[in-house]
Structure 1
Amino acid sequence: MEIILYQPEIPPNTGNVARLCAATGTPLHLIEPLGFSLEDRYLKRAGLDYWPSVDLRVWPDWERFANDWPGLRLVFTSARRGLPLHHFQFRPGDGLVFGPETRGCPPWLLDRYPDRLVNIPIWGPVRSLNLSTAAGVVLYEALRQTGALDRDLEKNEPGQGNPGSDQGKQVRARGVAHKEGLY
């Protein structure tokens, strides 16, 4: 799996998603413009000392990302559109796309992939979940469905490896530039 944050706006949310990615060995892609600097102290604080474990790439815009990763099957999250995520069939290596906190993925992007939209069922007056909460829910459901959690669970001790580590190594081998300097 890979997590793609399209134009994230709130530094602590992105930092928390980075920590999630470190915990699961999931590469993290940030699509600019960002609503903050990568030097933001709240971003760094939310990611704690896990930034060296984050396979991070920053892209100048959606087109550059999409052109450089043409084979990646993208799955988009939406607060109101798409299948409930537990009815969607995730595949190993899917790219899980999350939009900005205040407005979600733009309609022009969602309209390109109408068969790859998922939502997290929500009851009551709440309009949506926090970005980092949603990323955790969707990522763990995708890892569960694809068997990635069970594969390494027996040999995984706290602080020793993670479910997606071999996927992360595979992605790093592609030679895509990493963003450095967050730690």
Structure 2
Amino acid sequence: MPFHIVLVEPEIPANTGNISRTCAATGAWLHLVKPLGFRIDDRELKRAGLDYWPAVKLEVHEHFGEVREKLSGARFFYTSTKGLVPYTEFRYRPGDVFVFGKETKGLPEELLRENMDCVIRIPMGTAVRSLNLSNAVAIVLYEALRQTGFPGLVLRGKGVDGTDADEDGADTGMGDNGPAGAAGRSLSGTAGTDAF
């Protein structure tokens, strides 16, 4: 069951285009809630998504209530700088829904107040008000994917010599408990060092 990314009234086409590419790469659904700050056929939107648009599972909704109705059995998480709990503190499940607000204002405060037990935040310093929307989506989505074992995604690539990690006996970091922590692998792939 795929994750769902919901953008409520996104304003910047390049951000939505980048997010669409992330959704195509991960199999996540992308839901856009009107009004949009651009047209779906916007040149910047299409350029940011490159040639991956055919792989994007996209739905456009007239209002947020449509999303709630369509995904009524799913768990919703609302991402905001006003959140009290870091996004890493929750245990995600396939099919969860991650909601993000518009670039200039975030999610409506009323929506956040009604759902404070499911409002998550990405920790950051005080020099900026917020992260770029496409970066925030990628951070949260990939944490959910990591927690669920990256379902349907290719975990290992070919090395520079074209050899699979499993073929040359390298420690892949995968075991009964999932990926090894960063402290368990060095840059050379040797387990048990603190190279990171």
Classify the TM-score, shorter chain. 0.7 to 0.9
TM-score by length of 1: 0.80
* Cα distance, 1:68 vs structure 2: 2.2
**Partner amino acid, structure 2, of 1:21:** C
Indicate how the Cα distance of structure 1 residues 19 and 109 shifts in structure 2: closer, same or farther if over 3 A, else same. same
In structure 2, runs of 5+ residues without a counterpart are 159-196
Look up the SS of the partner of 1:139 in the other structure.
helix
- Give the Cα–Cα distance (whole angstroms) in 2 for the partners of residues 91 and 154 of structure 1: 19
* Cα distance, 1:97 vs structure 2: 0.5
Contact 1:4 1:30 in 2 (8 A): yes
Percent of aligned positions that are identical: 50
Q: Say yes or no: does 1:70 pair with 2:72.
A: yes
Residues 147-177 of structure 1: per-residue CA shift (max 9 Å, x gap)? 225x6435778xxxxxxxxxxxxxxxxxxxx
Which protein has the larger Cα radius of gyration, Structure 1 or Structure 2? Answer: 2
Moved over 2 A (4+): 151-157
* Cα distance, 1:80 vs structure 2: 2.6
- Give the Cα–Cα distance (whole angstroms) in 1 for the partners of residues 154 and 106 of structure 2: 33
Contact 2:5 2:30 in 1 (8 A): yes
* Residue 133 of structure 2: aligned partner: 131
* Cα distance, 1:86 vs structure 2: 1.4
- Give the Cα–Cα distance (whole angstroms) in 2 for the partners of residues 94 and 155 of structure 1: 25
Q: Say yes or no: does 1:41 pair with 2:43.
A: yes
* CA RMSD, Structure 1 to Structure 2 (Å): 1.6
Look up the SS of the partner of 2:95 in the other structure.
coil
Q: Say yes or no: does 1:153 pair with 2:154.
A: yes
Q: Say yes or no: does 1:97 pair with 2:89.
A: no
Structure with more of its chain in helix, by fraction: 1
- Give the Cα–Cα distance (whole angstroms) in 1 for the partners of residues 40 and 84 of structure 2: 32
Contact 1:2 1:26 in 2 (8 A): yes
Residues 4-61 of structure 1: per-residue CA shift (max 9 Å, x gap)? 1111010000000000001111110001111111111000000000000000000011
* Cα distance, 1:82 vs structure 2: 2.8
Aligned residues: 156
**Partner amino acid, structure 1, of 2:132:** N
TM-score by length of 2: 0.75
